[in-house]
């Protein structure tokens, strides 16, 4: 094999993407009410409490099999894993920013039920707050906060 062919083949493999973004449609019987993505900026150490509202559009009770975050910094919580027919429930995600590097973040969580899956997204920017030092005084150190946010302002209207 000639060296030019090997070089051409190596360029072909280098231009082929190794990772692809998963596109998961929100079209099953259990759907997100409002947007699937929540944007929230925070300071390092804050805990973001993101509430996503979901609705069961079917006539059967749907059982959520599992909620799987991509990152161990996200902890999911659901009131009940059974969503009655034509009802709205919520999924709460806690993002502990203490171990997330400063700068932009993008965290995905997958919700599996039956043969269906949908995705919840948390994104934003994390900044570091440095202690403030003044001569003759104790340093002022930032106290982390809980930052609640939800994906829709009025979850029960028009749904």
- At 30-65, the pLDDT tens digits run 989 888 999 999 999 999 999 999 999 999 999 999
So where are the chain's domains?
28-150
> Which residues contact residue 111 at a Cβ distance below 8 angstroms, ignoring those fewer than 6 apart?
30, 54, 64, 66, 67, 68, 91, 117, 118, 119, 120
User: At the topology level of CATH, where does 28-150 sit?
Assistant: Immunoglobulin-like (2.60.40)
Residue 146 has pLDDT above 80, yes or no: yes
pLDDT band at 122 (very low <50, low <70, confident <90, very high): very high
pTM score, two decimals?
A: 0.77
- DSSP-derived secondary structure letter, 36: S
Better-predicted residue by pLDDT, 155 or 91: 91
What is the average pLDDT score of the chain? 83
CA atoms within 13 A on the CB side of 132: 5
> Which residues contact residue 153 at a Cβ distance below 8 angstroms, ignoring those fewer than 6 apart?
none
pLDDT band at 25 (very low <50, low <70, confident <90, very high): low
> In this predicted structure, what is the pLDDT of residue 159?
52
């Amino acid at each position: 094999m000639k060296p030019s062919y090997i070089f051409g083949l190596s360029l072909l493999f280098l231009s082929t993407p190794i990772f692809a973004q998963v596109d998961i449609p929100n079209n099953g019987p259990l759907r997100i009410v409002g947007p699937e993505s929540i944007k929230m900026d925070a300071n390092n150490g804050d805990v973001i409490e993101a509430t996503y509202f979901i609705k069961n559009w079917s006539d059967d009770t749907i059982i959520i099999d599992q909620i799987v975050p991509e990152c161990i910094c996200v902890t999911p919580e659901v009131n009940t894993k059974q969503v009655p027919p034509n009802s709205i429930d919520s999924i709460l995600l806690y993002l502990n920013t203490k171990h997330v590097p400063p700068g932009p973040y993008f965290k995905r969580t997958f919700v599996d039920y039956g043969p269906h899956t949908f995705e919840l997204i948390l994104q934003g920017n994390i900044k570091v707050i440095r202690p403030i030092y003044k001569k003759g005084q104790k340093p002022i150190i930032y106290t982390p906060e809980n930052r609640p946010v939800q994906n829709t302002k009025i979850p029960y209207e028009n749904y």
